[in-house]
Amino acid sequence: MDLFLKDIKDVNNENRQYAQKRKIVALLNKSVEPLTIPDICKKVKLSVPTGTRLINELIEKNIIIESGKKETDNGRRPSSYKTDSNYAFCVGVVVQLKSVYVSIFNLAMDEIFRNEDQSFILENSPESLERVIQFITDTISQSGVDTSHILGVGVGITGRVNTRTGNSYNYFNFLDNSLTSYLSDRLSLSVYIDNDTHVLGLAEQVFGYARDVKNALVVNLSRGLGMALITNGELVIGEQGFAGEFGHMQLGESDKLCLCGKRGCLGTEVSGYALEQNFQEQVHAGESSLLLNVKELDSVHYEDIIRAAWNGDALSISLVHGMGFKIGKALGNMINLLNPGVIIIGGNFASAREVLIDSIKSGMTHTALSLPLRNCELIFSSIGDAAVRGAGAIVLRRMQLI
């Protein structure tokens, strides 16, 4: 474990070698396939002899392992290497309005244990925080992973979060010092925090469709609306960590009052919450829906509406398409601004590809300039547990292991 815990600020021979070893581990973690010595040396800019030496030292410490010979066209077959998954672990935590997810990952970011609490209700209270802490400690002990092998805990939480100071502004803001230092004390582990949308973006950047692209947008479309921006291959969190408040952009689409206190925020028209509100409004205005045959009006969830749209319910289709068109126009603006190579729709709407994609694309053509639009792909996320995976990835990212 010492390898990853050294102070990396001092520049001396020892830390330089640790940094190079971390680079090798990170490279292996990022790669889907095992890599050979020549591959690794080329990527981390080391000569083959030194690269070999470092790799052998990493093998000796059980941090990486050999993974058989690689088939090549000609020449001697090289041995290939991958991270030894059971050397160290990290914990990913996602705190949402109505649920908590905790997963434990190994060095290769394979999920080795998961737990979710769907009866949780997020409140800005010590009791609510206590429940989260209890859930994390319970999950860790259930997993059977030795705490001394856990590198840290990454937490993704709804609302505004200052990544650098570790403060959470919307929830758990009653503490004397930062949320991270409190959690760190209580869990006896390093804790890193970010907002749920950034965490989703990190997952897509490290494991998803944004992997091979330097500029991408990841939309977090669930009950609320947020956006993670990736520019020059790096996640944008902004000066204090508040970047990505896509849902509070005002594009003249609406005049509804938003939870933030302002009027006309995009999230009041584009979000799971907005979809439910609009559904209720339309029904009250006399529209009919097949959904009402199986559910009471005030228990209709936005995911029901998506499903109904998929099954042909006219009202649901019109609402979902309307929402798709509006977010498409907003995304067209973003294309003009950032010229991304790919836009990924993540969050709970990621599975609504069929009922959303055409209306989003149609909205995009209304605002995006043709040149950047032509070069931008629209994709729906395929990482099921993206958020919690991204939360775990914060730890490895901070330790320069991914």
Partner DNA sequence: TTTAGTTAGTAAAAAAAATTATAAACTTGC
Partner DNA sequence: GCAAGTTTATAATTTTTTTTACTAACTAAA
**Footprint on this chain of DNA (rule: CB under 7 A):** 12-14, 16-17, 20, 36-38, 45-53, 69, 72-79
Q: Indicate which of DNA, a second copy, none lies near residue 244 (CB less than 5 to 8 Å, by partner kind).
A: a second copy
Q: Indicate which of DNA, a second copy, none lies near residue 31 (CB less than 5 to 8 Å, by partner kind).
A: none
Q: Is 346 left (phi over 0), alpha (psi -120 to 50) or beta?
A: beta
Q: Indicate which of a second copy, DNA, none lies near residue 212 (CB less than 5 to 8 Å, by partner kind).
A: none
- What are the structure tokens assigned to 134, written together? 């209890």
Q: Indicate which of DNA, a second copy, none lies near residue 48 (CB less than 5 to 8 Å, by partner kind).
A: DNA
Q: Is 293 in the site for a second copy (CB under 8 A)?
A: no
> What is the distance of C-alpha 347 from the center of its chain?
9
Nearer residue to DNA within complex by CB, 74 or 370: 74
How far from 110 is each of 105, 137, 315, 384, CA to CA, in Å? 5, 20, 42, 13
Task: Give the closest residue to 140 by CA, choosing from 392, 393, 386, 397.
Answer: 392
Q: Indicate which of a second copy, DNA, none lies near residue 76 (CB less than 5 to 8 Å, by partner kind).
A: DNA
Nearer residue to a second copy within complex by CB, 291 or 364: 364
Q: Is 31 in the site for a second copy (CB under 8 A)?
A: no
Q: Indicate which of DNA, a second copy, none lies near residue 77 (CB less than 5 to 8 Å, by partner kind).
A: DNA
Nearer residue to DNA within complex by CB, 20 or 367: 20
| Contact set for a second copy, span 112-171 (CB under 8 A) | 160, 169
329 and 251 in contact (C-beta within 8 Å)?
yes
Task: Give the closest residue to 102 by CA, choosing from 153, 56, 40, 169.
Answer: 153
HSE-CB for 172 with a 13 A CA cutoff: 30
Q: Give me the least distance between CB of 400 and DNA, in Å please.
A: 16
Q: Indicate which of a second copy, DNA, none lies near residue 107 (CB less than 5 to 8 Å, by partner kind).
A: none
Q: Is 369 in the site for a second copy (CB under 8 A)?
A: yes
Nearer residue to DNA within complex by CB, 67 or 382: 67
Task: Give the closest residue to 331 by CA, choosing from 373, 302, 273.
Answer: 373
Q: Which stretch binds a second copy (CB under 8 A): 127-135, 141-149, 249-257, 387-395?
A: 249-257
Q: Is 201 in the site for a second copy (CB under 8 A)?
A: no
Scan for tokens 């999230």, then name that residue. 267
Sheet with 377-380, side-by-side order of all strands = 234-236, 225-231, 216-221, 342-346, 377-380
Cβ-defined contacts of 56-60 (< 8 Å, 24+)? 57/21, 58/21, 58/24, 58/25
Q: Is 364 in the site for a second copy (CB under 8 A)?
A: no
Q: Indicate which of DNA, a second copy, none lies near residue 260 (CB less than 5 to 8 Å, by partner kind).
A: a second copy
CB-based contacts of 376, cutoff 8 Å, min separation 6: 335, 339, 340, 341, 342, 343, 368
Q: Is 173 in the site for a second copy (CB under 8 A)?
A: no
User: Which 3 state secondary structure label does DSSP give 86?
Assistant: coil
Nearer residue to a second copy within complex by CB, 71 or 239: 239
Q: Indicate which of DNA, a second copy, none lies near residue 245 (CB less than 5 to 8 Å, by partner kind).
A: a second copy
Cα separation, 200 vs 300, whole angstroms: 26
Give the residue, chosen from 213, 283, 317, 357, that forms a contact with a second copy under the rule CB under 8 A. Answer: 213
65 and 59 in contact (C-beta within 8 Å)?
yes
Buried b / exposed e across 294-311, counting CB within 10 Å, b at 16+? eeeeeebebbbbbbbbee
Nearer residue to a second copy within complex by CB, 22 or 329: 329
Cα separation, 389 vs 102, whole angstroms: 9
Q: Give me the least distance between CB of 230 and a second copy, in Å please.
A: 9
Residue ranges in contact with a second copy by CB under 8 A: 11, 45, 160, 169, 213-215, 227, 229, 231-232, 234, 236-246, 248-253, 260, 262, 329, 332-333, 336-341, 366-367, 369, 371-372, 375-376
